[in-house]
Amino acid sequence: MRTIQFREAIAEAMSEEMRRDETIYLMGEEVAEYNGAYKASKGMLDEFGPERVIDTPISELGFAGIGVGSAMGGNRPIIEFMTFNFALVGIDQIISNAAKIRQMSGGQFNCPIVFRGPTGSAGQLGATHSQAFESWFANCPGLKVVVPSNPYDAKGLLKAAIRDDDPVIFMESEQMYGDKGETPDGEYIIPLGVAEVKREGKDVTIVSFGKIIKEAYKAAEELEKEGISCEIIDLRTVRPMDHDTILKSVKKTNRLVILEEAWPFGNVATEITYQVQSQAFDYLDAPIVKINTADTPAPYSPVLLEEWLPNYKDVIKAVKKVLYK
């Protein structure tokens, strides 16, 4: 095992797959000459050339559409958005074309394409650059949605996403690109749709994904000092969702807290809550608690932003609530 940054894990996954399959290419703003806005494609232009690592104008609708069309024609594009906030400009290509072309063509076309880039907040970037759209994309049949939380998972999941024959939304974070973690030297693949228990526990289950899961780890460390044992599940893939891993844990701990960086109305945590209460109601010893952002656009003020985002103190409070402490 060696220690690499999250951005290096992303670059390695793309490069390894591009060496394996010449139909794969990377397209997006600043991915080539600048080595990526977050240096997640560093060195790839030198290795693969401008025909496979392609800089674009600021035209998400255009290059998302080019990607969808070329995927239908037999390529396997990786389309990078500088942030998924900008994907809204091209969302018609994702929702109306990429997600639906297999069904609408009667199976004549598939669309093996990966749309990747950062999601959620990343400091004082204002309301329009701080949005989390995991639940939006996961709501659409035909799309798979992946949100890794560490370099190891990011590499293995991205390789699986690139090899998948359906469109995959692969969501990262500006605040994770510098995160370091251990990854193997050799090739490995993490299958989509499989959650992982990151921390074993017996008193309460905490489900989370993406960068916000760090707050769950902090809370678990603090709660352990008080004799409270938390089991933490990293979803890794939002859709398809691994219900079995969640249900197995809840049947053991009998309590569930869900931590998600998203607006509270109709989000991923809402879906998890429904699935657990419908399939494991008799195992619950307390109502499920979900922790989300405030129900407002993200503020620019650092003081307000701190209040807006969930943190480990919110997790501690929620855990104690389901434990009636």
CA distance linking residue 222 with residue 219, whole number of Å: 5
Pick the closest to residue 84 from 122, 111, 55, 140 (CA basis): 122
Beta strand 144-146 pairing with 237-239: antiparallel
Beta strand 24-28 pairing with 204-208: unpaired
CB contact at 8 A, 10 and 28: no
Q: Is 129 a catalytic residue?
A: yes
CB contact at 8 A, 114 and 168: yes
DSSP assigned state of 46: H
**Alpha-carbon distance values, 117 to 171, 174, 227 (Å):** 5, 9, 39
Q: Which of 129, 172, 231, 260 is catalytic?
A: 129
Pick the closest to residue 297 from 129, 119, 127, 134 (CA basis): 127
Q: Which of 17, 60, 215, 271 is catalytic?
A: 60
How large is the C-alpha radius of gyration of the chain? 20
**Alpha-carbon distance values, 68 to 15, 124, 179, 241 (Å):** 21, 33, 31, 24
Torsion angle in degrees (nearest 10) through CA of 139, 145, 150, 154: -170
CA distance linking residue 175 with residue 179, whole number of Å: 8
Give the neighbor-by-neighbor strand order of the sheet with 114-118. Answer: 53-55, 24-28, 76-80, 114-118, 168-172, 144-146, 237-239
Strand partners, 258: 207, 290
Q: How would DSSP label each residue in 19-33?
A: HH-TTEEEEETTSST
Kindly list the catalytic residues: 60, 129
